[in-house]
């Protein structure tokens, strides 16, 4: 028994050492090439929605293997544009997994439609096709699947389900840029695929998003939507020497700038390097935690390539004497910028108060949420930082493992008899 363990038994906590610099759960990687690309645009005639946006869209579409890509201002705008393009509205329902950021479901609400939450698979934490099928009725118009943490969804099963019931399949692929399923890159599989370029994602444009699709008409509708619903943008007006335009639909200003697009093109070129390092770190974590009885290891099917946006471990709470939040707090105190992804969307106050959702709706997602912690994972993590994460997680968990507590109690009883 170490001295710190003995002190903990008596309820005495030694003075905490000043922790090392916090290791965040995610961080962008910007280099001189990225900066030079942005500076070049700053010196050009166009700053927003010019020729560089067009080049970024083409490069991105080519990378994922999709005919069309539409750049927008952020990942939420991408989801909203997809919902708008499908003309979702009041009376329509869309199936959504609960383990996602609220924007996935919010985009449906923006259109006046209703998100219907279907539970997840306990191993993969992805939308369970059996659960989604139970939610389908004559109001269902679409399904959104989330490639949680970077693991591709069960696209084969969901595609068959969507076709069987005449639904549109939307992929919230914001975690999965670079992932592969069935030999195809995520972004080329679902009817509409949405991505985010937030700084913690695989590549960044500061803020930004993209939708890919094989449907030219949907792509054109989303282009109008991002530009206020206007039929002819200023580039087309300039080419035809006309001032005339019309607003056929009520759209939004969801445009991406040329400044951001230039950064995106530069970042996209480095994406293979970013993915390789993410996958390497994830494998190191897998090996380190594989045999720990207090940790439920992540599950990755052999037929897919994981994009490793997040590394989410689950705690085996039956082996611990504290809950997830206590472990979370102690890890933060020791300098790990851990996070939790995510509170089930329907448990947020807005959904409970406005849609009447309540606990128990998706029990598998709720159980996972109460056990999960997201560890730091980003390409510029050093090997020393990765090892520090592993050592800290193991040290904190060992403090609270039930077998260790029993041994300490036995030691304390024996000590009283001296």
| Residue 95 to residues 57, 124, 129, 132, 241, Cα–Cα distance (Å) | 28, 18, 11, 7, 46
What total of structural domains would you count in the chain?
A: 2
For residue 330, the enclosing domain spans 3-28+272-416
CATH number at residue 400: 3.90.1150.10
The CATH number assigned to the domain holding 171 equals 3.40.640.10
What's the chain's average pLDDT?
91
Same-domain check for residues 254 and 306: no
pLDDT score at 20: 73
Say whether both 82 and 13 belong to one domain: no
Domain boundary among 235, 268, 301: 268
pLDDT at 12: 34
CA atoms within 13 A on the CB side of 22: 11
Residues 152 and 116 in one domain: yes
**Do 227 and 366 fall within a single domain?**
no
pTM attached to this predicted model = 0.90
Distance separating alpha carbons of residues 121 and 8, to the nearest angstrom: 38
Buried/exposed 122-160: b ≥16 CB within 10 Å, e otherwise: eebbbbbbebbbebbeeebbbbbbbbbbbbbbbbebbbe
The answer on pLDDT for 9 being more than 50 is no
For residues 74 and 208, membership in a common domain is answered with yes
Kindly list the catalytic residues. 201
Residues 202 and 288 in one domain: no
pLDDT per residue over 249-284, tens digit each? 999 999 999 999 999 999 999 999 999 999 999 999
Q: Pick from 268, 287, 306: which residue ends a domain?
A: 268
Q: pLDDT digits over 209-257, tens only?
A: 999 999 999 999 999 999 999 987 656 645 566 677 889 899 999 999 9
Q: What is the DSSP string of 248-278?
A: -S---B-PPBHHHHHHHHHHHHHHHHHHHHH
Are residues 87 and 129 part of one domain?
yes
> Of 268, 298, 322, which residue constitutes the final position of a domain?
268
Confidence of residue 405 (pLDDT cuts 50, 70, 90): low
55 plus 202 within the same structural domain: yes
Segment 350-359 mean pLDDT = 98
Asked if residue 223 and residue 306 are part of one domain, the reply reads no
Q: What is the pLDDT of residue 235?
A: 60
Residues 233 and 281 in one domain: no
* CB-CB contact of 150 with 306 (8 Å): yes
Q: Over pLDDT 70: what percentage of the chain?
A: 89
The answer on 130 and 19 residing in a single domain is no
Question: Is the pLDDT score of 406 beyond 80?
Answer: no
């Amino acid at each position: 028994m170490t001295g710190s363990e003995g002190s903990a038994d008596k309820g005495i906590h030694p003075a905490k050492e000043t922790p090392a610099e916090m290791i965040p759960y995610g961080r962008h990687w910007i280099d001189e090439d990225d900066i030079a690309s942005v500076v070049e645009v700053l010196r050009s005639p166009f700053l927003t929605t010019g020729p560089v946006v067009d080049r970024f869209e083409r490069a991105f579409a080519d990378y994922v293997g999709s005919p069309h890509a539409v750049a927008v201002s952020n990942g939420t705008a991408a989801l909203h544009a997809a919902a708008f393009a499908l003309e979702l509205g009041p009376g329509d329902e869309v199936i959504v997994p609960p383990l996602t950021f609220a924007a996935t479901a919010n985009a449906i609400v923006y259109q006046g439609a209703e998100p219907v939450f279907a539970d997840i698979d306990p191993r993969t934490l992805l939308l369970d096709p059996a659960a989604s099928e139970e939610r389908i009725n004559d109001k269902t118009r679409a399904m959104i699947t989330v490639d949680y943490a970077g693991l591709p969804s069960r696209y084969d099963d969901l595609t068959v389900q969507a076709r069987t019931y005449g639904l549109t399949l939307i992929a919230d692929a914001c975690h999965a840029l670079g992932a592969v399923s069935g030999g195809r890159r995520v972004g080329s599989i679902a009817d509409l695929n949405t991505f985010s370029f937030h700084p913690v994602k695989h590549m960044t444009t500061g803020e930004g998003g993209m939708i890919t699709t094989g449907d030219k008409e949907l792509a054109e509708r989303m282009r109008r939507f991002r530009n206020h619903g206007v039929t002819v943008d200023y580039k087309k007006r300039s080419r035809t020497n006309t001032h005339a335009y019309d607003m056929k639909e009520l759209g939004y200003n969801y445009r991406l700038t040329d400044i951001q697009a230039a950064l995106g093109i530069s970042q996209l070129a480095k994406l293979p390097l970013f993915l390789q390092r993410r996958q390497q770190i994830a494998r190191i974590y897998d090996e380190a935690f594989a045999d720990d009885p207090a940790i439920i290891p992540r599950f990755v099917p052999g037929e897919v390539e994981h994009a490793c946006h997040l590394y989410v471990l689950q705690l085996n709470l039956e082996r611990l004497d504290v809950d997830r939040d206590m472990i979370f707090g102690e890890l933060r105190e020791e300098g790990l910028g851990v996070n939790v992804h995510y509170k089930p969307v329907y448990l947020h106050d807005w959904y409970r108060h406005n849609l009447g959702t309540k606990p128990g709706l998706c029990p598998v997602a709720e159980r996972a949420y109460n056990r999960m912690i997201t560890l730091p994972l980003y390409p510029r993590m050093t090997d020393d930082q990765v090892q520090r994460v592993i050592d800290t997680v193991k040290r904190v968990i060992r403090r609270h493992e039930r077998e260790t507590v029993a041994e300490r109690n036995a030691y304390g009883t024996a000590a009283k008899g001296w």
